[in-house]
Structure 1
Amino acid sequence: MTPRNAHPQPQVLLMVPTSEGVGLTSASLGLIQALDTIGLKAGFLKPFRQDELNGPGPDRSTALVGTTLGLRPPPPLAQAHMERLLRQDRLDVLMEQVIDLHDQAMESHDGSRPDLIVVEGLVPTSHGTYATSLNAQLAHALNARIILVGSGDMHDPQALAEQLDMHARAFGGVGSTRTLGCILMRMRNLPDPEKAPALAPGTASKTLDDELLAELRRYSPALATDRFHLIGVVPYNPALVAPRVLDVARALGAEFLNEGDAASRRVLSTSLCARSAANALHAFRPGSLIVTSGDRDDIVLASALATMNGVPMAGVLLTNGFMPNDSMVEMCRPALKTGMPVLAVDTDSFTTAKHLAAMGNDIPMDDLERAEQVTRFVAGYIDLEWLKDHLSRGYARRLSPSAFRHQLVKLAQQADKRIILPEGSEPRTVEAAAICQRRGIARCVLLARREEVEEVARNRGIELPDDLEIIDPDRIRARYVAPMVERRSGKLNALTAEAQLQDSVVLGTMMLALDEVDGLVSGAVHTTANTVRPAFQLIKSAPDYRLVSSIFFMLLPEQVVVYGDCAVNPDPDAEALAEIALQSARSAQAFGIEPRVAMISYSTGESGSGADVEKVRAATRLAQQQAPELPIDGPLQYDAAAIGSVGRQKAPDSPVAGRATVFVFPDLNTGNTTYKAVQRSARVVSVGPMLQGLNKPVNDLSRGALVDDIVFTIALTAIQAAQRD
């Protein structure tokens, strides 16, 4: 099976809005278009729908990206579904679903993989108080780099600087390697607004305003960093936020008296005409929507006359529920024939004007002309060269816990393996087997009497899938006596073999040894020794290895790392420790984790001495000689291996320090203690131990394992079996 990282994973850019109405979707459209002009293909994903912003119907952002750019992004998760999972404290499940959407977004229209994915974050609203925290979780789950999307006024740079600084804090601050910079949309009062580029991508990529950057840095020194950049400064352009008359009619629920060119005429300004026509002549200008009471015949006639004189007004909106009489309509008919829209509402003029002012600037899904104009305009203000140069620097790729869990399930489903569960009537195991069977993670085999399993299912409310296989050990045990004696020739006879086969773990291991199943998971009630000893005796180690070791996948908040060996070898010598390091690195790579191996000790580099440090030093040299292509370094203290600032200080020339993904401990005492301390104190989920080095996959469970732990261990085992194939 091909490991997940056999192909480079597309980078993810998370667009994080600082408030409502900043033009988030416009920024995403422009960025994707701009990247395309420099040869970078981008996909798009909006993970969560926000009903209060979108309204009824399909998701607007997803639809606009599809029609404007020809992509096929997946539909977002429903807001009600998202909020239900948040209330149930099932954030991990929600993030796994986001990872699934991300994988769908990687499938572009021509089947090739994009270079990166642009993800639209949640907009903070009065309804969605969770937006900031959920955007931070998105960044972790997708291992995304952050582009803030804001808006403001050059006359108030302090407010803008504080806004950017505050929102960046959720992602480590503006100086974090995760935070790329910002795109400022609809900026007003720029020093030189006349230098707007033509509506063509890339024509103004170098016109970013140094004066604005200097002002922002005055009010927020945190912005004065090489890592945070003004990726785009897009000036306010009223023509690009102008709705069609059709959009006004939809927003107000207006009735068309004459639809005319309502689908193409745009409202550049609104004029409330309560005075006589003679005193309102200034209102009759191109793009103006005249709002007046339906009984103001003078304003209606003046609008018709202006239209006949060639003034391309947007239209006339009549209020108060008054309608012109037939004679007035006939008088205005020549103007109506030019396509001038006329619409009517029942509300009074003042209320109607308030409703117009409250209309949002969002691009309607069917306004392709405006979407294309906005896309080209925004693309023209993106600093493409800087962005292209910085997308590949200074950011270590990590596999997030959500991505890891999603990947386990997906790869296990593809593997379609038969996994034996010797503890077949143990309640957590029964529930995990039912879940795995329903989701297609594995074809599980419960080794237990059917009536015992069914009683457990009734007591716990578990619905057993019809195709879940249950085998009574008493009915099959006898046929494994002879094969077991043959396998352990000279060490067992028929009587002792039959006695040992009373242990369901031994029986399950024999089924695995004879290739009747593909893998074994045990340990919910048995000790590690009970699970591992039969595997050593009957399965034995793989030809390339002289020992069997174990790893845990530690699901830290921002990434998944590997700990080894924390369960099997009490005090490995240097040769064994080197082999554990190589086994662990290969296991990490097989599960999508880029291996950077740290050989852990109480000393870093040459600073310490003693037999324990020398063992780690010798093991490091052996591992480096056997796998020169792998980044392996040691001895390293844990903090030097895991923390960037400490690694740079203690081991500045190390390719691993501060970036380790595989931690190899010098002995079982250190490894087991560390894994349990991290797991319990930091409330970190650990998956494993996964045994490595065996001919066939056998995996042990912690006796305190949760149902989810068992599900993921079954998935691990299925994937190992597929990799063995």
Structure 2
Amino acid sequence: MTRSVYVTGIDRGDGRQVVELGVMELLTRQVDRVGVFRPLVHDGPDRLFELLRARYRLSQDPTSVYGLDYHEAAALQAEKGTDELVSRLVDRFHQVARDYEVVVVLGTDYAATQLPDELALNARLANEFGASVIPVVGGKNQTAESVRAETRNAYRAYEALGCDVLAMVVNRVVPEDREDIAERLAARLPVPCYALPDEPALAAPTVAQITHALGGTVLLGDDAGLARDALDFVFGGAMLPNFLNALTPGCMVVTPGDRADLVVGALAAHSAGTPPIAGVLLTLNERPSEQVLTLASRLAPGTPVVLVSGNSFPTAAELFALEGKLNASTPRKAETALGLFERHVDTGDLLTRISVARSSRVTPMMFEHELLEQARADRRRVVLPEGTEERVLRAADVLLRRDVCELTLLGDTEVIRKKAADLGIDLTAGATQLIDPQTSELRQVFAERYAELRAHKGVTVELAYDVVADVNYFGTLMVEEGLADGMVSGSVHSTAATIRPAFEIIKTKPRGTSQGEASGGASIVSSVFFMCLADKVLVYGDCAVNPDPNAEQLADIAVQSAVTAARFGVEPRIAMLSYSTGTSGSGADVDKVREATKLVRALRPDLRIEGPIQYDAAVEPSVAATKLPDSEVAGEATVLIFPDLNTGNNTYKAVQRSAGAVAVGPVMQGLRKPVNDLSRGALVSDIVNTVAITAIQSQPVRTESV
């Protein structure tokens, strides 16, 4: 039977979209096929469903998502009664449920619905759908006592109507009251109660939403600028010195279009980062001169300047009535919302209460979700040497909003701050460090340490002082000295520039030590790619580092790849690949693979391994049944070890392009501490995944890991 979760409320303004998004995120980590159903809908676009469809790549037909619109429902209820309305909606729900493992139901919104006793209707629908209920109570502008009373009453109301209440969520509470509310409700209610603080960035409209609402014209600005949150409004009327003192981070400046001094002053302040603003809104339909606009575009490229026709007073009234909305065009708000949900909700316990069995399929999205969750469970600090690179800054924004790890960004700190401001990224959120290796007090300390490590190569402190100013050397030394747990670089640097410092400074995990034994030890550094296919994850090694490993090195790569696979939830079944299977072929290349297989069996008899074996026999059960019918690996291999770099690199790229696989990596293995390399074509999502992997690699090894 399809499992379903009904997220509902008791009134308007509870911000329950945060909970609906969070529940969807939670369920898509567990199962492949998650459906959405909204019993009643208003006319016009459904912003939340469009966000869910875009973010979770839902293939569900949009017409199947909805039961009835509110006008139809009100008319049907008035003419034929509540039973007929409920019956119609139950039929629509089951049409969706039969195609999905779990369905998230989005309850009614209490917004001019013309339906009597809406809470009772939601409760009855949940019962008829066989859905468990998560009621959400809004706490904005309420006292702690009022919030607690309303939450207890809401629980009693749904419980009295026969609902299976999974948990209660109180949203948008005063941050200072959050812990007290959560603790007191936990003592009074028989189900978990989670309290989420009010988050200004979620309620703040974006510049694009302001422009649309006011019918404005964009004079300057790019998409990144229009996506900025307007956290405050500052109305310009004072002289420039006083006006500059009034600016706040993330504010939208509202000023008559003929005040060129305020426009230029605000953009100059933004350019200097004191403070970064969201944009400038010009009233009275007064367009600045082309000279002013040209100067403005050079002062703060990308920062929006928007023209509206109204004067300041009615514009202010409209602005203060606006509230930010989660939708497909505000992905950063979605990251903020998910970070809020994951920080304040015990997601593991909630998932247990929902009782959704984990799917046997592992999709790329499920694997990526699991990476973030695993990294968040034991937060580490990762250093990013390419702190001035736009993709790195955008990835940092996602990582900070989702609370995945702590970050250190290297580079000219003023350049980093300015680029972050231009992108609307707040680097003050979370535990984020900005360090310029050129001016850092650590430079001399690191020079002395590097000279000590490389003394056998004739490196002096004076020479080392120049070397460690390089961001990759500086970042690697931060990892070596315990000031960061791992490093990710390579979006603008070559692989050699990224990993050479690690070879010189961090080196491989020693065998015969507790640390080495826990992780298998290593004689060489190698790499793997996680190949996320439509329904499973395979591990490919080595596709990036070692051109032509000998038998001993190949065995080392196999063991390390098995350790890495297990660390990330992939049960290791190793296939040592060759152009022949079993004893069917001979020659130096096949003999190397055969010898490597023997070495792995001797070194790690607990590992399941087969080799030499061809790729098709390794992954396709029907071929395996013919070629190696008695093998416990053939046809079910999860870790595929290629005999050389040429074969591995070409195969992973062929599978990536022709099979539409998501390739996550390369993930470096064998180093004492994690350093990972990015492709210079890495997307923001690639950087996010690689940072999460690096954070996980730096976490203590669990004893049950391979």
TM-score by length of 1: 0.50
1:496-535 aligned at under 5 Å gives the runs 496-535=463-502
1:405 and 2:368 aligned: yes
User: Residue 687 of structure 2 is aligned with which of 707, 710, 716?
Assistant: 710
1:487 and 2:464 aligned: no
For 2:560 and 2:575, how far apart are their aligned partners in 1? 13
Partner AA of 1:91 in structure 2: Y
User: Residue 56 of structure 2 is aligned with which of 83, 88, 91?
Assistant: 91
Q: Is the 8 A contact 2:31 2:359 kept in 1?
A: no
> What secondary structure is seen at the aligned counterpart in 1 of 2:676?
strand
Q: Which residue is equivalent to 1:559?
A: 536
Q: Which residue is equivalent to 1:195?
A: none
Q: 1:400 offset after TM fit, Å?
A: 2.9
Distance 1:434 1:648, change over 3 A: same
Q: 1:588 offset after TM fit, Å?
A: 0.5
For 1:711 and 1:370, how far apart are their aligned partners in 2? 43
Deviations 1:184-209 (A, max 9, x none): xxxxxxxxxxxxxxxxxxxxxxxxxx
For 1:497 and 1:370, how far apart are their aligned partners in 2? 72
Deviations 1:66-115 (A, max 9, x none): xxxxxxxxxxxx975333343x4x335x69xxxxxxxxxxxxxxxxxxxx
Distance 1:690 1:364, change over 3 A: closer
Q: 1:684 offset after TM fit, Å?
A: 2.3
Distance 1:532 1:369, change over 3 A: closer
1:544-693 aligned at under 5 Å gives the runs 544=511, 545-693=522-670
Q: 1:704 offset after TM fit, Å?
A: 0.7
Distance 1:369 1:696, change over 3 A: closer
Q: 1:44 offset after TM fit, Å?
A: 11
Extract unaligned runs of 5+ from structure 1.
1-12, 17-42, 58-77, 96-121, 130-247, 257-261, 268-358, 373-394
Distance 1:46 1:55, change over 3 A: farther
For 2:51 and 2:387, how far apart are their aligned partners in 1? 33
> What secondary structure is seen at the aligned counterpart in 2 of 1:475?
coil
Q: 1:683 offset after TM fit, Å?
A: 3.2
Q: Which residue is equivalent to 1:65?
A: none
Q: Is the 8 A contact 2:665 2:678 kept in 1?
A: yes
What RMSD over aligned residues (CA atoms) do the two structures have, in Å?
Answer: 3.8
> What secondary structure is seen at the aligned counterpart in 2 of 1:473?
coil
Q: 1:526 offset after TM fit, Å?
A: 1.1
Q: Which residue is equivalent to 1:50?
A: 37
Distance 1:249 1:128, change over 3 A: closer
Q: 1:537 offset after TM fit, Å?
A: 0.8
Q: 1:126 offset after TM fit, Å?
A: 5.1
Q: 1:498 offset after TM fit, Å?
A: 1.8
Distance 1:535 1:364, change over 3 A: closer
Distance 1:594 1:400, change over 3 A: farther
> What secondary structure is seen at the aligned counterpart in 1 of 2:545?
coil
Partner AA of 1:485 in structure 2: A
Distance 1:15 1:419, change over 3 A: closer
Q: Is the 8 A contact 1:687 1:712 kept in 2?
A: yes
For 1:125 and 1:409, how far apart are their aligned partners in 2? 29
1:470 and 2:437 aligned: no
Q: Is the 8 A contact 1:640 1:657 kept in 2?
A: yes
Partner AA of 2:673 in structure 1: K
Q: 1:484 offset after TM fit, Å?
A: 1.0
Q: Is the 8 A contact 1:48 1:79 kept in 2?
A: no
Distance 1:50 1:498, change over 3 A: same
Q: Is the 8 A contact 2:597 2:611 kept in 1?
A: yes
Q: Which residue is equivalent to 1:328?
A: none
Q: Which moved more, 1:453-462 or 1:663-672?
A: 453-462
Q: 1:555 offset after TM fit, Å?
A: 1.3
> What secondary structure is seen at the aligned counterpart in 1 of 2:455?
coil
For 1:538 and 1:253, how far apart are their aligned partners in 2? 76
For 1:445 and 1:679, how far apart are their aligned partners in 2? 31
For 2:413 and 2:654, how far apart are their aligned partners in 1? 39
Partner AA of 2:403 in structure 1: G
For 1:724 and 1:430, how far apart are their aligned partners in 2? 30
Q: 1:660 offset after TM fit, Å?
A: 1.1
TM-score by length of 2: 0.51
Q: Is the 8 A contact 1:562 1:663 kept in 2?
A: yes
Distance 1:46 1:606, change over 3 A: closer
Count of residues in correspondence between the two structures: 396
Q: Is the 8 A contact 1:641 1:658 kept in 2?
A: yes
1:104-143 aligned at under 5 Å gives the runs 127-128=64-65
Distance 1:691 1:254, change over 3 A: same
For 1:640 and 1:435, how far apart are their aligned partners in 2? 40
Q: Is the 8 A contact 1:417 1:721 kept in 2?
A: yes
1:425 and 2:391 aligned: no
Partner AA of 2:366 in structure 1: A
Partner AA of 2:436 in structure 1: D
Q: 1:642 offset after TM fit, Å?
A: 1.6
For 1:681 and 1:48, how far apart are their aligned partners in 2? 28
Deviations 1:50-71 (A, max 9, x none): 12xx3489xxxxxxxxxxxxxx
1:105-254 aligned at under 5 Å gives the runs 127-128=64-65, 252-253=77-78
Q: 1:127 offset after TM fit, Å?
A: 3.8
Partner AA of 2:377 in structure 1: Q
Partner AA of 2:545 in structure 1: V
Q: 1:426 offset after TM fit, Å?
A: 1.2
Q: Is the 8 A contact 1:434 1:465 kept in 2?
A: no
Q: Is the 8 A contact 1:562 1:662 kept in 2?
A: yes
Partner AA of 2:37 in structure 1: Q
Distance 1:611 1:587, change over 3 A: same
Partner AA of 1:428 in structure 2: R
Distance 1:552 1:14, change over 3 A: farther
Q: Is the 8 A contact 2:538 2:638 kept in 1?
A: yes
Q: 1:644 offset after TM fit, Å?
A: 2.1
Distance 1:539 1:367, change over 3 A: closer
Distance 1:484 1:724, change over 3 A: farther
Q: 1:586 offset after TM fit, Å?
A: 1.0
Deviations 1:115-139 (A, max 9, x none): xxxxxxx7x895459xxxxxxxxxx
For 1:603 and 1:46, how far apart are their aligned partners in 2? 38
> What secondary structure is seen at the aligned counterpart in 2 of 1:597?
strand
For 2:32 and 2:524, how far apart are their aligned partners in 1? 45
Look at both structures and tell me which one has the larger radius of gyration over its CA atoms: 1
Q: Is the 8 A contact 1:438 1:465 kept in 2?
A: no
Distance 1:682 1:484, change over 3 A: same
Identity, % of aligned positions: 46
For 1:363 and 1:427, how far apart are their aligned partners in 2? 47
Partner AA of 1:482 in structure 2: E
Distance 1:396 1:643, change over 3 A: farther
Distance 1:449 1:629, change over 3 A: same
For 2:435 and 2:655, how far apart are their aligned partners in 1? 38
Q: 1:602 offset after TM fit, Å?
A: 1.0
For 1:252 and 1:45, how far apart are their aligned partners in 2? 36
Q: 1:542 offset after TM fit, Å?
A: 0.6
